[in-house]
Homo-oligomer: A and B are copies of this chain.
Amino acid sequence: MAGDRDQPGAVSFHRRELPRDTCVSFASPRGKKIFTRALLKGTMRNYFALAEQFHTQQEPAYCGLATLVMVLNAMAIDPGRVWKGVWRWFSEELLDCCKDIELVKREGIDLDEFARLARCNGAMCTITTGAEVSLDEFREVVLGNMREKGAEPCDSEPCCSFLCVNYDRGVLGQTGTGHFSPVAGYNEEEDLLLVLDVARFKYPPHWVKLSLLHDAMKGERGFALLSPGTGEQGEPVLGCQGGCALRGFDRQGRPSCSRCGG
């Protein structure tokens, strides 16, 4: 890394160009066509709620926190504490539980830590590594979440979730490595996913092949499905009130040690 206000003349960048063979920019003529077609086909269910909350990660290693901020706000979860002025609102600096935010600033978070932070802030969250699902299974998950349900009542709980991906940018032909972002839509005809990339200073939002994104979820990387958390009576669960309510979860959100929480 080089270049900031204290180092005039150092290398700096005004955005990066998207790799043309793997990514289609959201606002390009072709991107608009892919969007319109997917909208008319009814596979953009969460797009509007996510578009309302599209957000730029505030630090180079905050992609996970920024992704979480978008989805927590998209689900209208009340953080239960004030952000600024009189307003309760999720912003990265409010996600200062579960992992020291100064450490997050240096090394980011992994998928397990992402899930922990989501649960601690009022969401239900399941995570799946790329290796755990076949391409077809991943496509089923995508369709189940992107397809408009119409007016019929939902018989599954939760009836819909927000999909976030933790992937290796390099597989998409982009510069960089591990990254998080929400997925906001699916064009089934072309098998393309809309990634609302939270590093907006680097890449615009873009459409990418579902199979390529599946390839990019290697090793411990994968995807998370988030929905609003509810209590035993179905009431919304408020986020942690000034401190981390729980420490140390297993994959199902259960504390891994009931005594020390670690």
Q: Chain A: residues with CB nearer than 8 A to chain B?
A: 1-5, 10-15, 26-27, 31-32, 35-36, 39-40, 48-49, 51-56, 58-60, 73, 76, 78-79, 81-89, 91, 200-202, 204-205
Contacts and interface: CB of A to CB of B under 8 A. Distances in A.
A51 B31 CA distance: 13
B88 A12 contact: yes
Given A39-B36, A52-B204, A3 B59 contact: no
A233 to B, nearest CB: 20
Shortest Cβ-Cβ A-B pairs, 3 listed: A27-B48, A89-B201, A87-B201
Contacts of A11: 86
Nearest to A199: B87
B12 A87 contact: yes
Given A32-B48, A48-B31, A53 B88 contact: no
Contact of A81 (B5, B36, B85): B5
Counting every copy of the chain, the complex holds 2
B49 A27 contact: yes
A52 B26 contact: yes
Q: What is the interface of chain A mostly: helix, strand, loop, or mixed?
A: loop
A200 B72 CA distance: 13
B53 A85 contact: no
Nearest to A28: B48
Nearest to A83: B201
Nearest to A90: B201
Contacts of A200: 52-53, 73, 89
Given A12-B88, A89-B200, 18 more contacts: A3-B85, A3-B86, A4-B86, A5-B82, A12-B86, A13-B86, A13-B87, A26-B52, A35-B48, A51-B51, A51-B54, A52-B205, A53-B54, A56-B91, A60-B84, A60-B85, A83-B201, A87-B201
